[in-house]
Chain A
């Protein structure tokens, strides 16, 4: 057995990586829970957000954490517009069409980024990127601690929106009972777009949290979204709490398997666990049985 001196930092680091995974999964599961579609454009939109954060730093000199304040509403608007004016109308009310439209969007966005910025991998240099905070025996990277705190704050904010605002209640209502919602005067197309906007806004925040320590290229988002998919299945499709807990859990699993199997095999733990969950609890750990 490894001593706690190694184990505890590994768990803490896992939780912090997991927080960003959780945020990406949160957006995915929110959209799935309400629109009942898997948003295949999630990865491409994350990449786009990472490019946006990158150029906000490059051209405007904005720190990614500052850029998040502007990029979050911009990406909310982008998500809202995509759903309201492209995905919704193109789908003609058929779920499988929505699926294909998001897939098409992903192809368009990725290739537009590739065309505009080439396949180069880019990073930004920030003075605090390698700073650490000492917590007991563990040294934690400052960007990861910030990411963890921000994700928890975003999750709480989302929970409050869903719980206490009319729009939040309407989102939950539309998720389960579309006709009942329509007849209560809820504009379902608007609520769909708001949900898509919220999911996309989560990506903008995630991108700004990732950028201080991660690189960006036209396919950078996909690796995260693959993990986010496993989290969404793990936590239960459409379950917001499931996405949060699942994300943190996956972060720890990745960190632990990295510790035991070697850093390059860290992600193997995630996918082994994913297969086990699919075999034994296909509705997810917190998902409703159907």
Chain B
């Protein structure tokens, strides 16, 4: 069986500046995988290329066996590849409920009410605030809303870009537990994070991105015990 997501030799950049310099990555069905790296290593560029916002200059991206390399973001969403972007990018001028409704704009429209109930069940805080403007939510609640909006599309693969950014350690723990339970429901997750230690506890496999290439990849345990990683990222 082919991988759910298979990226080969991907290169992307802005104008003459190349950010991703040839990366290969796979995510299997119902797998949870992390791409880890510090600021400015190309994580968000990778996500934006996968979701079609940026064009790849070289390489291929396959999703469920079909090439999505030159698809528009809307088509990619329609296929079930949902990217929850860094900085949440919720609609501040719409209510929580309207935000969720738009999560099902392109996909799973018929099952919108049922999925909304499911999201409210996962994130009870959103249910309490359903008629509030999303812009008035706290950072943690906005992150939950962003993930909830993604779930509304019944994703096959959920890309989470820095979900822990700006959250308190306690909230991060709560959020990661939720991500684990989302994955346990059979949704494949690609977690893109700076938070190396906690992410490695959550995922099965991980890739370490540095300066546009994967410098390390393997099972979470192997990576955790790798002396290079400790030196580069943990300063030990």
* Docked CA distance A180–B103 (Å): 10
Given A166-B101, A166-B102, A169-B101, is A183 in contact with B91 using a C-beta cutoff of 8 Å? no
In this complex, the interface size class of chain A, counting residues with CB under 8 Å from chain B, is 10 to 19
* Docked CA distance A180–B105 (Å): 12
Contact in complex: B92, A176 (CB < 8 Å): yes
Binds A, one of B1-9, B18-26, B71-79: B71-79
* Docked CA distance A99–B112 (Å): 39
Binds B, one of A22-30, A184-192, A260-268: A184-192
Binds A, one of B60-68, B82-90, B192-200: B82-90
B78 contact set on A, CB distance < 8 A:
185
Contact in complex: A173, B106 (CB < 8 Å): no
A179 contact set on B, CB distance < 8 A:
53, 85, 89
The prevalent SS among residues of B at the interface is loop
The prevalent SS among residues of A at the interface is helix
Instruction: Name the one of A166, A172, A176 contacting B105, with C-beta atoms under 8 angstroms.
Output: A166
Does any Cβ of A come within 8 Å of B46's Cβ? no
Does any Cβ of A come within 8 Å of B107's Cβ? yes
Contact in complex: B90, A180 (CB < 8 Å): yes
Does any Cβ of B come within 8 Å of A95's Cβ? no
* Docked CA distance A175–B53 (Å): 18
Interface centre among A172, A179, A182 (most CB of B within 10 A): A182
CB distance from B52 to the nearest CB of A (A): 8
Does any Cβ of B come within 8 Å of A155's Cβ? no
Contact in complex: A172, B85 (CB < 8 Å): no
Does any Cβ of A come within 8 Å of B51's Cβ? yes
CB distance from B61 to the nearest CB of A (A): 16
Give me the interface of A with B, judged by CB distance under 8 Å.
166, 169-170, 172-173, 175-177, 179-187
